[in-house]
A and B are shown apart, each in its own frame.
Chain A
């Protein structure tokens, strides 16, 4: 796969011309669903030389879903894995075919778990069709034929035919609707640590990301949106930069942004930097993180809140408890900081609009394109280009796509590539929401936890992104990992009197789904506070948790697996201390033990992480391990360094110098323990992030007696208490 191919686009040079014009996008097996050779079914094409092309609707952004989904299809297809490559159907094709490929959305660690059933059935149906085609050719009962490694054998006679030889006739057969799937214990392709299908071009520079795209006659654009959220453009002086090299046009974008279009992006960017712009900073010009923290603090005790989980009577039990503990935690805004900044290439004519962009949700990108273009979706198309990271930024809100289309509308017929500078990317993120949490524990005389009240105060992602999904002030996503029950994100503890509620307060900073979402801070709040309670009552943090986990065997088993693999209860190396945490989210159970040391000067060293995961079924254990390792980079970058702060209405951090992230020297050794218990399908891209920070924070307490309740760590002193 991923070899250079010729890409055809009907009518690229002119609407209605009926031409098929080829142009070359090197390095991309661009979607060509529906082209020859014909498909067996929507998921599978087989070429006459037996190459198998599997269609992948979800986006690959590094998380390995492309390889995992291909393994699931190939498993049921019974094809030769060595001959497998992949291609992506386009959102427009999905629309035209009544969403035959299902949901394109790639977030919430859903890629595998929410498409496994229908992609496996797609592979199995294709196999049945291929076998049927062979049986028809031989005029024998289909029951006498079997398929293995892309070869169909007529068992009684030993006659053989390859998939490629019968693919065309198979494609003419009806697609079976009733198909049986293999028991995972019989898997030979799925479940194995196979190498990724998409590595080769990432090693030679051949892989084309959205930013690398080049179309014939293309111009480049740089953009500046009002740095103050909610502000607008008052005026700009286009004449001041009109004579700069390469500048073609200066265009307002919406009422809040200005773009410069030039021959090259460097010309566009430097001209934009020189463009005099006067902003109307709007109603939030004075907003600050400091002022908003006071709002959150007040909300911790506000009488009105939405209940997410409760049993017993926590308020009464707390009032009556012989011993009480209380703490307040806070979690800041964060930028996704994908390595590749936001970008899209758009070409608009009065009758058609096309967009090439890295997106986690091609269908949402198509909807944004159609809206911005002022055209029906059927007259628009989105081509998904490789993503240089996603982490949730490229999924829900396609703000950069709307901008690119708006700019392209000013230059009908000319493709324009919009690239955000890193500074634009930092100032116009869709940030991890800001919250605080007040936790109150009631304890009996033996130190047992009898009552717990968690009051979460702060920002709702749904209110900012999908306000129609907030009903009666309730954002259910706020309670990730804290729900009473359910297969997605339930709490692992039984407390006799429990109350978890949320007082929603939304700042001017736009929120987004940030890898791990609300599980990240919820796990810090609960897991660090339980650690506090354990230490305050003289109990081992693991033993204390296990006492509360009798009704939650899966949470408990993963916690015990992590503890066992880490040697919890045995002496750590001299000067090294351990912390532990567990949670459940995105359908999976996760736990981690961190080993850290803190020097007398307060310097932290994270030596080793042991992380356990139960995702139910495992499709590729190597990919699971890579996601778990990566989760610690993302989770610990946030815990150690990550904070976007607001001052004078704008984000203060503008690049990696002021928004540092974890680098190689800080990276601990990560040991991944996969304990799949079967029977369900959980995600792996996100859940482990949530245990990264609390495991380390709890280890820091063990090492120093310092309890960190506000992040990032770099702003806290770790000198021994």
Chain B
């Protein structure tokens, strides 16, 4: 790329950012004005404005990427996060490695979603909402563009041009870190579309089922990306940071969990509104809260208001987000409070022993968990306001509150699918619960007999057995019904069962992944670690939680230079029960820039030997003299199942999201448009529906 062409693109990008700002402002104004005055021409112009905004934000992003690849170090952002010797892939991902760029990235996704929401919202059913959706999306985009143009401009120039940039933090030079932020952003930002639809539904007072169809699709999309993003974040923390865990209840981690929790609650409660016309206020509240929590998360991350290891530099951008949060809260509060009558429920809870009740408790628990996480995260601020003293709470707080709540939730995961809508009969309960109940109790008893004594772990595995039983039974019954009715073989029956009831069986797949994760979390109760010092040839012996005997023999310390770093590495020869299993090595890296000057502090490369039973996790803490390695060796039981569970959940999410052909929409569709009586299907019809 020629230099002048590159600098042309950069300037074009910068200008495009300002045009996008004007476009978003135009689009927001005419969309709302057109809706209020019922003027089709204004509405149409607003929609086109949304597309144009996306175009210009895209142009601005191309400009920043060009600057990164052209190594234009006169731009502060480029000089701050990259160096000339940074690998290409990380030059690309540097886009979201810093404050200003990540805001632009956020804005790019938002503008893209805005355009997609308008494009897919043109249909007959959602037409009425469109002006408000376009308007709301534009307002949010406008906010981000204002922040970008006046608060943190990625095109800001330095008054001098360094020969080389400061380079990228080595901890961010990891494939997990390259895709974790985009996934999380795709999830965070996708909460905006349901929010826009909620605003539109409230504004137009069309609060029946019509607005729920697109909201559900977008919420699922958001849920999917958040799930993938959070799991990747855990994986990155585990393999890169070297403290031996994947979740520390850090405020920024909590910030990503909060919208996930309320989003999950919504995806369950929406079914009750579809089937029974209940929970209308609640659903609007969940949609709005999910969006506000996503913004709050951004605020926490960007403002530095709460002590977190993750924080971006403290910057005035935090204040912008606080103001935006306040305005959104007031606006939606006003909309909801003036529409309470339109949100009245169309049905009552008929029995405590019903699927509705199970779903309601599921929602209560998910929201309870989010509240406790929010409370614990904000507690330093709250206590400072109330008592004038900053008091912090750490993992013990989150664990003691959330483990019991989480286990209750796990139990409901097993109950919900088994119990009938409206009112379960004794026969229904007996028929459905025997097998899963036996599976759960058997699991618990077996583990107790094998010597497991940790209370929470035992409860968790008993419940996990119960939920696996539930899921297994659902698949078994559905497949069996198909095999009898259509004479299909097992594979065909199973495949069609899932393909024709994607929401239901995809949901079970998600549950399966979730339970796998819970089972893996409980494994942490049996973690073992040791700090050891090994000279070349010396051996450390240890017994893992499963009773295997291990030896770790130092093969010596080596030092060498790689592409952009100096490396000190130790290699351990590992045996299990006398059998050699391989070499495990851990490194300390000192990154350098193209002038061979050290950048950043030394970073650690963890050595991990993964297995189904446990990970063996080795961290090189330091080297004394030339060959004495100081190591921490940890047995982390079942960790690999956390990643596996995450993948399964994502796959389940994909199954649920996969577009269904038109034919099935008639069968499975949005029943809330019918009267509650017509929909009141007994459990039998549910089962038949599964087999049809």
- Is B truly associated with A? no
Interface of A toward B, CB cutoff 8 Å: none
B binding-site residues for A, Cβ under 8 Å: none
